[in-house]
């Protein structure tokens, strides 16, 4: 496995800025009324959502600073992966 940088399309970044990932916030008092299973599932989902939001924020910040955004991508040695210019 190796890691390569891949430039993301401007259309993807513009779409991400226009439609960022959102998860409904459930206040603690409402969450307390749900089952333990639901609360645990919500907590795990919230962690995942927070990671997605942080990733998107990083791409947007990079795009605003550089005019483009790149991501690191793991590829196998068999794949012929090129970085878009």
Q: How confident is the model over 57-67, as pLDDT tens digits?
A: 999 999 999 99
Angle at which helix 36-66 crosses helix 10-18, to 10 degrees, equals 130
Mean pLDDT over 12-36 rounds to: 97
So where are the chain's domains? 2-75
| Phi, psi (rounded to 5 degrees) for 74 | -80, 130
Chain centroid, CA 57 distance in Å: 8
- The structure tokens listed for 63 are 């795009």
- The structure tokens listed for 5 are 């940088």
pLDDT at position 85: 45
Q: pLDDT confidence of 29, banded at 50, 70, 90?
A: very high
Distance CA 71, CA 4 (A): 8
């Amino acid at each position: 496995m190796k890691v390569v940088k891949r430039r993301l399309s401007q259309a993807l970044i513009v779409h991400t800025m226009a439609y960022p990932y959102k998860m409904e916030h459930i206040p603690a008092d409402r969450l307390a009324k749900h089952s333990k299973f639901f609360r645990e599932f919500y907590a795990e989902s919230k962690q995942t959502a927070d990671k997605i939001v942080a990733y998107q924020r990083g791409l947007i910040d990079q795009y605003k600073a550089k005019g483009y955004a790149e991501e690191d991508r793991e590829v196998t040695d068999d794949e012929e992966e090129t970085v878009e210019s």
